[in-house]
Chains A and B, each alone.
Chain A
Amino acid sequence: MTADSPSRQTTPQALPKWLEPFFLLMPAGLWLLLLLVLPTLLIFELSFVPGIRPGQVVNPSGLDNYFRILHPDYLPVLWRSLFFSVSTTFLTLVLGFPVAYWIALKIPKQWQNFVLLSFVLPLWTSSLLRSYAWITILRPTGVLNTALSLVKIPPLDILNREPAVLIGMTYSLLPYMVLILYAALEKLDRRLLEAASDLGATPSQAFWQVTVPQSLTGIAAGALLVFITSMGDFVNPELLGGASSMTVARLVYNQFLGVTQNWGFGSALSMILTLVVSIAIALLLKYGDRSAASGV
């Protein structure tokens, strides 16, 4: 007899072995099913009902809502959202990498958590508040222009234009990028850097050929997170972007909560937004790991 057979006998009513993982996964699984899969299916169904408003019977009947998105009225909105998201992703990466690198590799271990925490601190305030703060800084007679006038630089008219949106979004999402890059860089194998310099690599060669390839997974994950989050942001474009700031997220909002109450078209737009994000995730799964692996 093996050692564990007595315990098996004492608990005859225990679950069969193959059921155990399901039992453990059930709470999370139910959560996902009820709050993610089911609602997404409902939105998917609604997206096939042209012009449905609350109180009407759901009767899926075709792709009209999707064809409507291709109308020249809506394509510029999609492009603007993509432009904001891609630019924000790029900016957070360029700004966030040096910071994460500095925290992970240059700062003494005992101070790292403190510096990280202070970097993430802005996330504790409301995003709305942060956007309003940028209005105060960027407006024509605001903090920035007052400072510029002290050093005799002509005022900048940034607020209510695209640069203001990019500043606001980059500021909001930079902490996420830094956190993820830090996690990737912290695991960096420093012996490889020493080996590179022993073999005659300049610091910049070592950076591009050792550090960057090793942190590619982190870069991809951070870029993805920032991209996805910024696709859904409409607070920053709305408050900082001026009169031409319509984004997909705002368009979706207008369909559900605006005057038209066209939940069908809103659902189709939501599905397109979901699709764009899914493509980004698929790209990460396909190329993210492989390039990271081939780099090492």
Chain B
Amino acid sequence: MPPRRFSSAAISRRRFLQTSAAIAAGLASPGCGWTLAEVRPADAKGDQDKLGIYTWESYIDPELIQTFRTQTALDVAYDIYDSNEVMMATIRSGKGTNYSVVYPSDYAVAEMIGKKELLRLDKSRINGLENLMPEFQNSAFDPNNAYSVPVSWGTTGLIYNADELKIDITDWSDLWNLKQQLTRRMTMLADMREVMGATLKSLGYSYNSDNPAEIQQAYDKLTELKPALATFTTDAWQNQLIAGDYLLCMAFSMDAVSVMQENPDLNLRYVIPKSGTSLWNDTMAILSTAPNLDAAYEWINYMLQPAIAVDITKRLFFATPNQSAYDQLPNPLRNNQSLFPPEAILKPCERLTNLEPKIAELYDRYWTRLTSK
């Protein structure tokens, strides 16, 4: 028998023993643990004619994919997520190797850069970055768009039925002022950070407060409001606001604008509370494990085309950060202050930032207490 065969068998066997020992050690013995949810690049390259995209539901539709296909002859397969945390958990579970392009929001971009999950963009392969509005060319979460390209932005605010309410809603404090009158006819988002942030803001604190005393104060204030709230929901308020069951709902601007556009006969209004709110910004980024880099750059370039940005703003109602697209928008949309609020209104607004684990736990405890009383 040739010795080569022996040695290769021995190696593979030794490797097998090492691997199983490592698994056993990770499972059993403390001290030499394994790393939770570590992402490793896949060995196999995927189908080069197909681009995997992982995005929010509101950012993609068949028309968008069809136009991309006719322009580039590339096929798109996409999946949908409904929170940054779900997206990041999916990617960390190893499923991310199917996708090349993801759409993380501002704070998630920062977290993913920190965990080396995003690819540093090769600017020579991207056309049209200069079309972005100046404030989107150098964001604090990703200076100089090194890893991400902004695709939309928006605010969190209040939408209400002005015919029924007959008062002008101007600030978060109106929720508390109206709690007798609107008992069980108001909703807030099913989003811990947004609800706590809005309450903190109404108390004059930061949307991202990490001061335990302030967080406690916000919790106390929320418990006063809670009996008057019908529910915490991110989407399910829409039909009931239209039907008149709910009169005042906390909502993301793009959802509010699309409900208002689809129901022009109702006197619905969206306001950005004057004490300030959260300003969010969703981006496109390429995963460090992307199986199809060429197609990923093609997609980003495609989305940066002003004509495409105009098209999706008209169809999907989200605010484009693309200056030349904004300039081409039809007047009613361009002057829509819910979609493109003036600078003065945006001044007191903040972006959500990542919380220290300890502070995040504190938020979570108060939130659990609030929603289980």
Given A41-B27, A58-B33, A74-B368, answer yes or no on A242-B85 (Cβ-Cβ < 8 Å): no
Chain B neighbourhood of A136, CB < 8 A: 239
Chain B neighbourhood of A257, CB < 8 A: 83, 85-86, 89
Cβ of B184 < 8 Å from any Cβ of A?
yes
- Decide: B36 and A77 in contact? CB cutoff 8 A: no
Residue of A nearest to B365 (CB): A73
- Decide: B36 and A53 in contact? CB cutoff 8 A: yes
Measured CB to CB, the closest approach of chain B to A236, in angstroms, equals 13
Stretch from A44-52, A169-177, A183-191 contacting the other chain: A44-52
- Which of A73, A246, A258 makes the CB contact (< 8 A) with B85? A258
Interface of A is mostly: loop
Given A55-B36, A55-B38, A60-B30, answer yes or no on A246-B368 (Cβ-Cβ < 8 Å): yes
Cβ of B244 < 8 Å from any Cβ of A?
yes
Cβ of B140 < 8 Å from any Cβ of A?
no
Stretch from B70-78, B198-206, B230-238, B331-339 contacting the other chain: B230-238
Given A76-B372, A244-B373, answer yes or no on A42-B190 (Cβ-Cβ < 8 Å): no
For A41-81 the 0/1 string (1 means CB < 8 A from B) is 11001100001111111111100000000000110110010
Chain A neighbourhood of B89, CB < 8 A: 54, 256-257, 261
- Which of B26, B115, B372 makes the CB contact (< 8 A) with A244? B372
Cβ of B226 < 8 Å from any Cβ of A?
yes
Cβ of B245 < 8 Å from any Cβ of A?
yes
Cβ of A217 < 8 Å from any Cβ of B?
no
Residue of A nearest to B222 (CB): A243
Chain A neighbourhood of B244, CB < 8 A: 141
Given A244-B371, A245-B371, answer yes or no on A259-B192 (Cβ-Cβ < 8 Å): yes
- Decide: A55 and B37 in contact? CB cutoff 8 A: yes
A140-B247 Cα distance, complex, nearest whole Å: 12
- Decide: B368 and A157 in contact? CB cutoff 8 A: no
For B190-214 the 0/1 string (1 means CB < 8 A from A) is 1011000000000000000000000
- Interface contact tally, CB-CB below 8 A: 121
- Decide: B33 and A259 in contact? CB cutoff 8 A: no
Chain A CB within 10 Å — which of B190, B364, B369 has the most?
A: B364
A91-B30 Cα distance, complex, nearest whole Å: 46
Chain A neighbourhood of B193, CB < 8 A: 259
Given A139-B245, A239-B236, A259-B355, answer yes or no on A246-B361 (Cβ-Cβ < 8 Å): no
Cβ of A135 < 8 Å from any Cβ of B?
yes
- Decide: B372 and A157 in contact? CB cutoff 8 A: no
Cβ of A254 < 8 Å from any Cβ of B?
yes
Chain A neighbourhood of B85, CB < 8 A: 257-259, 261
Interface size of B in residues (CB-CB distance below 8 Å): 46
Q: Which positions 131-170 of chain A face chain B at CB distance < 8 Å?
A: 132, 135-136, 139-142, 157, 159-160
Cβ of A251 < 8 Å from any Cβ of B?
yes
Cβ of B363 < 8 Å from any Cβ of A?
yes
Chain B neighbourhood of A263, CB < 8 A: 36-37
Residue of A nearest to B188 (CB): A243
- Which of B226, B230, B361 makes the CB contact (< 8 A) with A51? B361
Cβ of B330 < 8 Å from any Cβ of A?
no
- Decide: B236 and A54 in contact? CB cutoff 8 A: no
For B346-373 the 0/1 string (1 means CB < 8 A from A) is 0000000001010011011101110111
For A201-214 the 0/1 string (1 means CB < 8 A from B) is 00000000000000
- Decide: B230 and A243 in contact? CB cutoff 8 A: yes
- Shortest 7 CB-CB distances between A and B: which pairs? A54-B37, A58-B33, A246-B372, A246-B371, A59-B33, A242-B231, A57-B33
Interface contacts beyond A55-B36, A239-B233, A254-B364: sample of 10 additional A-B pairs, CB < 8 Å, sorted by A = A55-B35, A57-B35, A57-B36, A58-B36, A73-B365, A76-B372, A141-B243, A246-B371, A258-B85, A260-B364
Provide 7 A-B residue pairs closer than 8 Å at the C-beta atoms, listed in order of the A residue: A55-B36, A58-B34, A76-B373, A139-B240, A241-B231, A254-B368, A260-B363
